[in-house]
Structure 1
Amino acid sequence: MNKLLSHQIVDYLERKGIEHVFGLCGHTVIAMLDALEKSEKLRYISVRHEQVASHAADGYARITKRASVVLCHLGPGLTNAATGVANASLDAIPMVVIAGDVPSYYYGRHPHQEVNMHCDGSQYDIYKPFVKRAWRVDNPELMPQILDKAFRLAETGRPGPVLISVPMDMFSREIDEKLFERTYVDSQEVFKPGIPQETAARIAKQLIDAENPVIHVGGQVVFNEATEELKELVEFLDIPVTRSLMGQGALPDTHPLMVGMTGFWGTDFVNGTTKNADLILGVGTRFAEADSSSWYKDVTFNAENTKFMQIDLEPSEIGRNFPVILGAVADPKNALKVILEEAKKIVPEGIDRKELKAEIAKYKAEFKKSNVEISNDERFPMTPQRILKDVREVFPVDGIIATDVGWNKNGIGQQFDIELPSTIIHPGGLATMGFGPAAILGIKLAAFDKKVITLVGDGGFGTNPSVIATAVEQNIPVVWVVMNNGAFGTIAGLEASHYEHSFGTIFKDHKGESYSPDWAKVAAGYGIKSKRITSAAEFKSALKEALEADEPYLLDVPMENIPVPTDGIWNINDIYTPKENVSEGRLTSGEAKKSLHVTT
C-alpha cells in the first residue's frame, strides 16, 4: 500500500518514541506540518526563530540523552538554525535536523530561496563543517534507510547532529509502506565500547603507582551517565578530580575529592592541582583551550612533568593536545567500571589520602570565605555573587539551570555548587549567546516535573526574546532570570583590560546615555508575569514567587558589571600583538603570566 512520505516519516518518529519536534514553518515543510497535525503522539513545538528551535532541541536532548528532532525550512530557515546546531555539535549533543529544500526538478533554476552558489542542489553543504553527516534525499525510497542511519549516527560514538535535506516534492511522493518494514526490525540499540581488562589493569596500576594522580573529567561523563562509576573509583583510590566547564555535575561540587574547574576561570589552587600532577587521566574531555589556559605549560597542565592517559569516545581526540602514554576509545561508564574492578585486585584495601582531602577542604572553605562579603552585599544594582547566592538558597537542588554566556556561565562554573548530574546545562564549545533562554524550553519539556530556569545576561536574552512567545503558546512554565548589566559585560571587561576602553560593548542610546530595555515590560507585552527587581533584598522572594507560579515568568535583575574573579589565563590579546616574552603560545616568564591574567 502506498502512502505519502511525510506521513510515513511521522509514523517512523512515533515508533522511535519521539515525543516532540521543534521547528518553524515554511512552504517547503507544509506537507510535514500536515502529517504532524494528524499525529496523536507527536507534539510540534512551533517557535518564532529557528535558532530557538535548535537550542530548545539541544536542551531537550541533554536531558533525554537521545537525539532530538528539528524541522526547518530551506535557506534562511536552515541558516537561522545553524548556530544552535553548531552549538550542539561542539558539545556532542545528538540531533536530527530535517530541512525542506527546493523541488528537486528545479535545481539550479533559482527557485525561491535556493542556495546554489557553487553547485546545484547544494543546500546541505552549508551544514557539512559541523554535522556528523549531511544527506540529500534524491530518491524517496531511500528515506527509511537514511532515517535509520541518521538516528544511529547521531547517538553513537561521539554524539552530534546530522542533517537530512529533503526536496519539498519528496515529502509529497507516495511510496510503498513495505519499504519502511526494515525500520521495524533494524535495532537502534548500539552497545557502547568498553575497554579490555588488560587495558583497565594498566590504567589502574598507573593511577595507583602515581604520587600525585588527578582525574580530569569532561561532559561525556555526565551525558553518558558515568557519574556513579566515577564516584566509586575516585573514592576507592582517593584521587582528586578536576573538571572542565562541561564536566560540572560529574561529581558533586561539594564532594571532598572534587577540586573544581580548571582553565580560564580556574583558581591557582585548582590549576595548581593539575599542573603539579605526575599523572592525569582525562575522561571524556578534549583538554580544550578554555580548560587548559590556552595550553601554557606552567598554568594548568604541564606535559613536561605530567604523564597523560585519556579515555574518549572519539578516536581523534586521543592525544590531540597532550601526548598520552595510554589512550582508550571507550564509553566512560564502561571504562571506569572495569578500571575500578582491576584497581580492587591490585589494592583490595583501597587508598586513603587524608591530607589531600584536608587540603581540598581548606581551599574550598577559604574560597567561600573570600566571597562571603560580596555575596551578602546589599548594594544595588546587585553583585553577581549576591544573585548566585540567592539563587542557590532558593532553587531546589534537583532543579535544572541553563546558563548562557558571561557571569552566569563562568561564575557558576567557578563558584556555584552543583550536587546532581544534568542539573546544570552550559553552552561549552561554541559558547553561544541566546542558548539558555531557548534551551530551557526543551529542558522543561523533557523534565516537566522539575523546576527549570536560565540565568542569562541582558545581552544574551536580547538576542531572541521571542522565546517568551513559544513558552506562552506551548504552556511551558520556565523562569528567565536576566542578569542585567547593560552591556556585553565579559567582552567589555576584556577590552577595558587590554585597550583601556569599552567601545562597542556598553549599551548606550544615540546621546551616549546608558540604555537597556525594560525586560519586565517586554515580557508583560508578551503576556507573562514579570518583575523588575528594585533592591537586593527583593530578589530572593521574587525568585521564589516565580518558581511557585508554575507559568512562564521573567525577572529583570539590575546587576553591577564587575569581573568574574580568576587566576586563570587566556591568550586573547597576544594573538594580535605578541609580547616579547611569549613565543609560539609559550610563556617564558612570570611577568608574561601576570600580564595575561583574565580580569573579566
Structure 2
Amino acid sequence: MKELVSKQLVKYLENCGVEHIFGLCGHTNIAVLAELDKSPIKFINVRHEQIAAHAADGYARAKRETAVVLSHLGPGLTNAATGVANAALDSIPMVVIAGDVPTHYYGKHPHQEINLHADAQQYEIYRPFVKRAWRVDRADRFPEIIQKAFQLAESGRPGPVLVSVPMDIFSKEIDVSLFEKLKHNTRHIQKPSIDDETAKKIIETLVDAEEPLIYAGGGIMLSNASDELRELVDHLNIPVAYSIMGKGAVSDDHPLTLGMTGFWGTKFINDKCRQADYILALGTRFSEADSSSWEPEYTFNFPPTKLIHIDIDSNEIGRNYPAEIGVVSDLKQALTVLNRVAKALYPNGVERNAQLKEEIASYKHTFKDSNQENVQSNAFPMKPQRILEDVRQVLPKDAYITTDVGWNKNGVGQQFPIYEAGTILTPGGYCTMGFGSSAAIGAKLARPDKVVVSLIGDGGFGQNPSVLATAFEENIPVVWVIMNNSAFGTIAGLEKAHYDTTYGTVFNKSGETYSPDFASIAKGYGIEGITIESAEEFKPVLQKAIEANKPVVIDVAMVNDPVPTDGHWNILDIYSPGKKVSHVTT
C-alpha cells in the first residue's frame, strides 16, 4: 500500500511523540501543513522564522526533547538560520524540515532556488553549524533520512540537523512499509559511561587534592544530571563554580555553590578557580567569556592547576586547556558511576571545607550588601539591580526565566539566584539578540504548569516583536519584562569607555532619547501592555501579571548602567592596549 510522503511524515512524528511543531508556511511545505491539520500535533504559527527556531530552542531546553521546525525554502530557511545556529552552539537537539525546489527544476532557477554555485544548494547554507544537512533526492529514501535526523540530533553532543525536502517529494506516494520498518529501530540509544577504574582514579584524586573544585557547564542540564552532581558535591564536600550555561546545575543557595566565572564573574569566584589544585570540569567548553579570554591571571590557570575533564564531545577535551584526565561520557552516566564508586571508597562521605562554607556564606552576604543601595533605590528610570531583585522576589523558585543579551543575561548570571536546574534559558555560545522573547513561548508550551518570564532589553525585544502575535493567537501566558535603556546598552558602555562616543548604539531622535511605546505595540497585537511609571509600581504590577495567567508585556525604563565586573575580556586590550579600561555608564 502506498501513501503520500507528507501524510506518512506526520504519522511518523506522531509516533515519535512530537506534540508541537514551530514554523511558517510557504508554497513548498503546505502539503505537510495540510496533513498537520488532521493531526493532534499542534503547529505553532509565527510571523518570522527566527522566532520559530528560538521558540523551538526554548521548547527543547524546557521539555528536554528534540524540537521540530518546519520551514519554507530560501528566505524562510535563511531567516531561521540565526536561531538554528544559536541552538547548535548551545547543543540543543532540533530537527529542521525545510521545503525545497522541485527536483525536476534543479538548476533552472525556479522560484527562490539558491543555485549560484551548485543546483538546489540551500542545504549547504546550514553546513557550518548543523550536525548534518541532508537533501532528499528520492522519495523512497526519505523515511530512513528522517529517522537518521532524529537519531543524530539526540545522540552524542546534541544539536540541530537539517532535512531539506524538495516540494515534489512531499507529494509523492511511497510504500508504507518503508516507514513501518522504522518502528523496529530503538528510539533511545544507550549513552557512553565511565569505567570503575577511571572513576576510582578521579575520586581518589579529588579527595587527595588540597583545594579541589568542580566546574559545571551546560552539559549537566543537557544530560539531566543535576541530581547526580548535587549528590557528588554533598558526598565529597567540594565547591562548585559554573559557566553561564551551567548556572542552576547546583542551586545558588547551596552552601558550596560559588557562582559564575569569567568576565562577568567576581574576583572571589575567579580567584577560587585560579587557586584550585584540581578542577573536575563537567560538560563545558571553557568559553572565552567564562574563562576571561583564557588569560591565566584572571580565572583559570592550567597548569599549575590540573584538569579532569568529562564531556560527551571528545573535541572539547584539551581544546582550550590541557587535561590530565580526559573522559568521553554522558554526564548522567559518568556521575552515576562516580557517586557509586565514591560511596564504596568513602561510605561516610568526606568531611572538609567547613571553613570554606563559612567563607562562601560571608562572600555572598558581602556581595549582596554591596548591591543594596541599588537594589533598594527608588530612582526612576529604575536601577537594573532593583529590577532583578523585584523579579526574583515575585517569582516562585521553579519559574522559568529566559534572557537575551546585555544586563538581562550578564546581570542574571552574576546576581540573580537560580534554584532549579534547567530553569534559566539563555543564549550562551551565540549570544543572540531576540532569543529570550521567542524562547519564552517555547518554554511555556513545554512546561504549561510553570511560570515563564522573559527578561529582555528593548534592543532585543525590538528584534522580533511579532512574537506577540503568536502568543495572542495561542494564548501563551508569558510575561515579558522589557528592561528598557533606549540603547544597545552593553555595547554603548564599551564604545563610551574606549572611544568616548555612543554613536550607533543608543536610540534617539533629534538628540532626544527615543523608545517605541512597547505597551501600545502589545495592545496592537491584542496583548495587555503596561508602562511602568515608578520603581515602586513595578513589583506589584509584575505580581498581578503573573497571577493573570495571560500574555503581558511590562515596559520598565532602566538606567543604562553596565554590569560591574572584576573579570577580563581581551577585546578591551584590543580597544585600549595596556589601559585596563572596562565599561562606563552612558
Q: Calculate the TM-score normalised by the size of structure 2.
A: 0.98
For residues 21-100 of structure 1, the aligned pairs below 5 Å read: 21-39=21-39, 41-100=40-99
Q: Distance in 2 between matches of 1:174 and 1:349?
A: 64
Is contact 2:496–2:583 with CA below 8 Å preserved after alignment? no
Question: Which amino acid letter does the alignment assign opposite residue 595 of structure 1?
Answer: K
Q: Distance in 2 between matches of 1:74 and 1:504?
A: 33
For residues 545-584 of structure 1, the aligned pairs below 5 Å read: 545-575=544-574, 579=577
Q: Distance in 1 between matches of 2:523 and 2:269?
A: 43
Q: Distance in 1 between matches of 2:42 and 2:89?
A: 27
What secondary structure, in the 3-state scheme, does the structure 2 residue paired with 1:246 have?
A: helix
How far apart are residue 534 of structure 1 and its match? 0.0
What residue is the counterpart of 1:407 in the other structure? 407
Aligned residue pairs, count: 584
For residues 38-437 of structure 1, the aligned pairs below 5 Å read: 38-39=38-39, 41-351=40-350, 352-437=352-437
Is contact 2:496–2:584 with CA below 8 Å preserved after alignment? no
Q: Distance in 2 between matches of 1:525 and 1:451?
A: 24
Is contact 1:137–1:167 with CA below 8 Å preserved after alignment? yes
* 1:595 pairs with 2:585: no
Q: Distance in 2 between matches of 1:558 and 1:286?
A: 36
Question: Which amino acid letter does the alignment assign opposite residue 126 of structure 1?
Answer: I
What residue is the counterpart of 2:2 in the other structure? 2
How far apart are residue 344 of structure 1 and its match? 2.7
Is contact 1:394–1:543 with CA below 8 Å preserved after alignment? yes
How far apart are residue 528 of structure 1 and its match? 0.9
Change (3 A) 1:211 1:599: farther
How far apart are residue 63 of structure 1 and its match? 1.2
How far apart are residue 121 of structure 1 and its match? 1.6
How far apart are residue 324 of structure 1 and its match? 0.5
Residue ranges of structure 1 left out of the alignment (5+ in a row)? 580-591
Is contact 1:392–1:416 with CA below 8 Å preserved after alignment? yes
Question: Which amino acid letter does the alignment assign opposite residue 382 of structure 1?
Answer: M
How far apart are residue 596 of structure 1 and its match? 5.2
Is contact 1:51–1:82 with CA below 8 Å preserved after alignment? yes
Question: Which amino acid letter does the alignment assign opposite residue 461 of structure 1?
Answer: F
CA RMSD, 1 decimal: 1.1
For residues 493-532 of structure 1, the aligned pairs below 5 Å read: 493-509=493-509, 511-532=510-531
Please give the per-residue CA displacement for 1:344-399, whole angstroms capped at 9, x wherever unaligned.
Answer: 33333322210111111110110001111110100000000000010011111111
Residue ranges of structure 2 left out of the alignment (5+ in a row)? none
Which of 227-236 and 12-21 deviates more? Answer: 227-236
Question: Which amino acid letter does the alignment assign opposite residue 84 of structure 1?
Answer: G
Is contact 1:569–1:596 with CA below 8 Å preserved after alignment? no
Is contact 1:144–1:182 with CA below 8 Å preserved after alignment? no
Percent of aligned positions that are identical: 59
How far apart are residue 235 of structure 1 and its match? 1.1
Q: Calculate the TM-score normalised by the size of structure 1.
A: 0.96
What secondary structure, in the 3-state scheme, does the structure 2 residue paired with 1:260 have?
A: strand
Is contact 1:570–1:598 with CA below 8 Å preserved after alignment? no
Is contact 1:265–1:410 with CA below 8 Å preserved after alignment? yes
How far apart are residue 304 of structure 1 and its match? 2.6
What secondary structure, in the 3-state scheme, does the structure 2 residue paired with 1:568 have?
A: coil
Q: Distance in 2 between matches of 1:138 and 1:264?
A: 48
Q: Distance in 2 between matches of 1:362 and 1:562?
A: 26
Q: Distance in 2 between matches of 1:188 and 1:465?
A: 37
Is contact 1:21–1:44 with CA below 8 Å preserved after alignment? yes
Is contact 2:498–2:581 with CA below 8 Å preserved after alignment? no
How far apart are residue 64 of structure 1 and its match? 1.4
Q: Distance in 1 between matches of 2:70 and 2:340?
A: 45
Please give the per-residue CA displacement for 1:437-461, whole angstroms capped at 9, x wherever unaligned.
Answer: 0001111100011111100000000
Q: Distance in 2 between matches of 1:117 and 1:413?
A: 43
Q: Distance in 1 between matches of 2:281 and 2:581?
A: 26
Is contact 2:383–2:559 with CA below 8 Å preserved after alignment? yes
Q: Distance in 2 between matches of 1:576 and 1:101?
A: 44
Is contact 2:498–2:575 with CA below 8 Å preserved after alignment? no
Please give the per-residue CA displacement for 1:535-573, whole angstroms capped at 9, x wherever unaligned.
Answer: 000000100111111111100000010010110111114
What residue is the counterpart of 1:473 in the other structure? 473
